[in-house]
Structure 1
Amino acid sequence: MEIKKNPKSNLENYSKLFIQLGLVLALFVVYVSMENKTYDKQVGSLGDVTMEDLLEEDIPITERVEPEIPKATPPPAPEEIEVVEDEKEVEETVIETTETDETEAIEVEDIVEAEIEEDIPEDVPFNIIEEVPVFPGCSGSKQELTDCLNEKIRSHVLKKFNNELAADLGLPPGKKKIYVVFRIDPKGNITEINARAPHPRLKQEAIRVAKTLPKMTPGKQRGKPVGMRYTLPISFNVE
């Protein structure tokens, strides 16, 4: 048998009413507490209050004593002052004038011009030398002498250089270069020969060939023989 619930006994139907009643009650309690007045309690007399007398301290009055500064005593005056007459005669020096008279003759020594020696370097670069060295058999203008010098040196080296030496050194195939540097001294001799090559034997061969160059007419700067350095590149192919 199932028990049926009476819908009138369900309290959830009155939840809104309970909430409103509680809110009204809370507001009433707050209002009563705010309107209630309170008063401070009155306190009786505190009795006789006694204050102890403060001790008065006597502070002595001090005075600043200035130190006595001793007075400086003046030096004693001499008893007698002697007056010494200046009997020494002073000789006046006469300053002679340095001005010349128009009637006096003035002697002027001969002016000698000093020769200034121009400092010319011992070695002059190839591109600024005034007169290039002259290879035997070359002649003409400066440009012609320069072209002839380059051509004669190049042909001489190619003629004397051992081309078959590179094939026996086991060098990798390709284009190789040797740079030969030497100096044509103020007497026209070939000196200070050096070379840079891909193999030591090629370097020795380049130096040997440079030593076979003939003596030349030295280059000149300001009319004086000077030294000049020359660089010769040698190119060859290794197959």
Structure 2
Amino acid sequence: MELKKNPSADIGRRKLLFFSIGLAVTMLFIVVSFEWRVYDSITKVEFKDDGEDFEEQIEIPITEMPPPPPPVLQQPEVIEVPDEEKIDEEIEVNLDVEFKEEAPPPPPVKVDLPPPPPPVVEKEEKIFMIVEDQAMPKGGLRKFYKYIGKNLKYPSQARRMGVEGKVYIQFVVEKDGSITDIKILKGIGSGCDEEAIRVLKNAPKWKPGKQRGVPVRVRRSIPIVFKLQ
């Protein structure tokens, strides 16, 4: 006997449709997951002008150097050396000499000397990096960089080789405002480092830094730019 089944009660007749819908929903979920983006919040930061406490970079103009004078060729002087002269005189040496034995010297007398005084150890004063009143050039940094631009000479070797860049130099401002302990933190060579040290050694005294109203030693660093025009 053949079994008769109502088509509306057949569960498997829409299996392909449900499978297609599920596959489409899954692919949509995967695409949305990969394309989803999260942006970080951006905070607006305001920068304030701190007055003269800045490091200005100055371009050092090229210095015209006069051409070197032509070399002077000197004719070597010829000196005539006379022939060796023969020595006719004979020197007689008398070896029959009596030597008298001398008495040995007396032993040295020991003298008790007072002990030497202990060495005086000078206590090195502390060098500050940050102070209440920072060490500054007299007249401000702008005037100090004008002094550097006026007195700095571009080395001939660096100009000939086309060397440019920044020389970072570090130094200590003493209590009296003098500049000591000059060091190169990062140089470019070709005579530029030595020229930066030379100009800084001859620089005028700074206004010393103060901590609680008392002058102290402060370490500072500045960049000096060497640039060809």
Common fold by TM > 0.5: no
TM-score w.r.t. the length of structure 2 is 0.40
Larger Rg: 1
Higher relative contact order, chain-length normalized (CA < 8 Å, sep 6+): 2
TM-score w.r.t. the length of structure 1 is 0.39
